Amino acid sequence: MATAAESIEQIKQRIDLIASRKAREEVEAGAKLIDVREPHEWDEAHLEGAVHVPQAELLDRISEVAPDRFERIVLYCRTDNRSSRAADALQDLGYENVAVMRGGIVDWQENGLPVVAAQGLSPEQRMRYSRHTLLPEVGVEGQVKLLNSKVLLIGAGGLGAPSAFYLAAAGVGTIGIVDDDVVDETNLQRQIIHTTDRVGMPKTASAKASIEALNPDVKVVEHRTRMNAENILDIIADYDVLLDGADNFPTRYLLNDASVRLRKPVVSASILAFDGQISTFVPYEGPCYRCLYPVPPPPEMAPSCGAAGVLGVMAGIMGMLQANEVIKLVAGIGEPLIDRLLLYDSLGTRFTELKVKRDPDCPVCGDSAPEIPESEMGKFPDYEAFCAGEPVLRS
Amino acid sequence: MSTVKIPPVLRAQTGGEAELQTCGATVGDILRSLAEAHPGTRSQLFSEGGELNRYVNVYLNDEDVRVLDGLDTTVSESDTVVILPAMAGGQASLR
């Protein structure tokens, strides 16, 4: 009879400890496999074919689980301490054919044997994303949401490059990238997903190579094209969240109008010199891009980074804030930047938060904005002309 | 004196200053006195008719003046006026 003072080593001397591979053979031959760990451990991962009876309940439930006291029973726990105590107690009850799997599920997994992972996470994924799943706000459930999510990056440039890296590392299951450009030497100061030896390569292909090297869980979809009124609805339709890192106003307005039509959230950021802006536009929950900026500025008020320069780390800072917003939207946690515009001034190291309201007169998402009939879906005004100062209104 | 935050695209017209101290009882007064002191900003802030250009957002502290009283919004000494045009930089390729 085991006593509290008796050491686990003493108990183990009278237990039949078997190796994990032997345990597997015995289970395949018909032995009864019982997992005596706690429910949360079982939920995370367990062996196929096992019955779950936590150690504290085992003596009460054994006659129901294994009515035949001569039946071969294999117990396991995380290592083999709890299962050895449980086996000892079963032997005292008259169970004569009890074994314990040495090293438990830890040893089993170290031997590369399969487990049934909780809610769709493989053993490799549980290791890879363990620092996520440890967070109660994310957990296995949030990680599964990320793995099932589809995020579209508009541009694999300054903002798209760093956010693509972190979204890939976070396990976003599908990352689409729209870009028709090739990697240029001047990109490398901030577009860290590209490398020196890939100058001249399409940015979508370069980003894909980096993402796949980082995380094989991620499926990368290349859209090697420029978004326009004809293709935008087809491109964005399959995605859950859109990340706007476009370098020009026609694309930003086009993306806004299409995303409002299809009710897709857009995490929008822009950078110039030492300054950045970011906001999250969730159609009809908060303002859209047009509520914030009803019309684009004239060209002299809207220089590009190519003309005005940009501090490389600004791409990282604002791209990271975008990735953070995307992850929150996908996992359904926290407080997204809806109704708020966040400015960052890197020279002063200052954040400024401004309120943004839905404009009831917004031509796209306002109260009196016309419903778009099915036949009009996908038809857009000429955005290039619109942004060159000749607005062409929706007919 | 109220503080006016100048966006990067206007700093060439303000001698590189990112923040200016300006007098005025309303948002309109403040912006007009800014345009007086730095004439290069006038055409970018105001239309020929003296209206605030639609592509320029102006905030009193954190509130858009469009939901307050626009250019007539009163400003007190401790207030900050933020001038904010849209920016599109991200990918930063020249085209």
pLDDT digits (tens, 9 = 90+) for A68-81: 999 999 999 999 99
Residue B43 CB contacts under 8 Å (≥ 6 apart), including other chains: none
Interface mutation vs chain A, best among B93, B94, B95, most A CBs within 10 Å: B93
CA atoms of A18 and A21, how far apart (whole Å): 8
pLDDT at res. A309: 87
Does a structural domain hold residue B45? yes
Does a structural domain hold residue B92? no
Q: What is the mean pLDDT of chain B?
A: 88
Give the HSE-up count for residue A363: Cα atoms under 13 Å, Cβ half-sphere: 14
Chain A environment of B44 (Cβ under 8 Å): 300-301
Q: Which domains does chain A have, with CATH numbers?
A: 8-119 (3.40.250.10), 130-387 (3.40.50.720)
CA atoms of A211 and A207, how far apart (whole Å): 6
Domain containing B77 equals 2-85
The CATH number given to whatever domain includes residue B17 is 3.10.20.30
pLDDT over 90 percentage in chain A: 74
**C-alpha angle A271-A340-B10 in degrees, rounded to nearest 5:** 40
Tokens of A104: 């438990």
Q: How confident is the model at residue A1 (pLDDT cuts 50, 70, 90)?
A: low
Is residue A298's pLDDT more than 70?
Answer: yes
pLDDT at res. B94: 30
pLDDT at res. A355: 97
The number of beta carbons lying within 10 Å of the beta carbon of residue A270 is: 25
Does a structural domain hold residue B74? yes
Q: Average pLDDT for residues B32-48, to the nearest whole number?
A: 93
Does a structural domain hold residue B22? yes
Indicate yes or no: CB of A357 within 8 angstroms of CB of B62: no
Q: Closest Cα partner for A158 from A181, A127, A132?
A: A181
Does a structural domain hold residue B93? no
Q: Average pLDDT for residues A270-284, to the nearest whole number?
A: 94
A residues 48-67 lying closer than 8 A (beta carbon) to B: none
Tokens of A228: 């326009």
Indicate yes or no: CB of A275 within 8 angstroms of CB of B90: no
Q: How confident is the model at residue A115 (pLDDT cuts 50, 70, 90)?
A: confident
Is residue A376's pLDDT more than 60?
Answer: no
CA atoms of A235 and B94, how far apart (whole Å): 24
Indicate yes or no: CB of A355 within 8 angstroms of CB of B62: yes
- Residue length, chain A? 395
The number of beta carbons lying within 10 Å of the beta carbon of residue A205 is: 17
pLDDT at res. A374: 55
Does a structural domain hold residue B94? no
**Structural domain tally of chain B?**
1
User: Within A294-350, where are the H helices?
Assistant: 305-308, 312-331
Residue A289 CB contacts under 8 Å (≥ 6 apart), including other chains: A252, A253, A255, A256, A266, A268, A281
CA atoms of B90 and B95, how far apart (whole Å): 13
Tokens of A136: 């109660």
How many A-B residue pairs are in contact by the CB < 8 A criterion? Answer: 133
Chain B environment of A190 (Cβ under 8 Å): 92
Which stretch, A43-57, A313-327, A379-393, B15-29, has highest mean pLDDT?
A: A313-327
pLDDT at res. A389: 44
pLDDT at res. A304: 64
Tokens of A335: 């407080």
Q: Average pLDDT for residues A139-148, to the nearest whole number?
A: 93
Q: How confident is the model at residue B38 (pLDDT cuts 50, 70, 90)?
A: very high
* 3-class secondary-structure state, position A87: helix
CA A15 to chain centre: 45
pLDDT at res. A306: 66
Q: What is the ipTM of this complex?
A: 0.90
Distance (Å) from the alpha carbon of A323 to chain B's nearest alpha carbon: 14
CA A114 to chain centre: 24
Q: Average pLDDT for residues A51-64, to the nearest whole number?
A: 93
CA A99 to chain centre: 41
What SS3 string covers A26-82? HHHCCCEEEECCCHHHHHHEECCCCEECCHHHHHHHHHHHCCCCCCCEEEECCCCHH
* 3-class secondary-structure state, position B45: helix
Does a structural domain hold residue B15? yes
Residue B82's H or E segment, with its range, is strand B80-85
CA A70 to chain centre: 49
Does a structural domain hold residue B49? yes
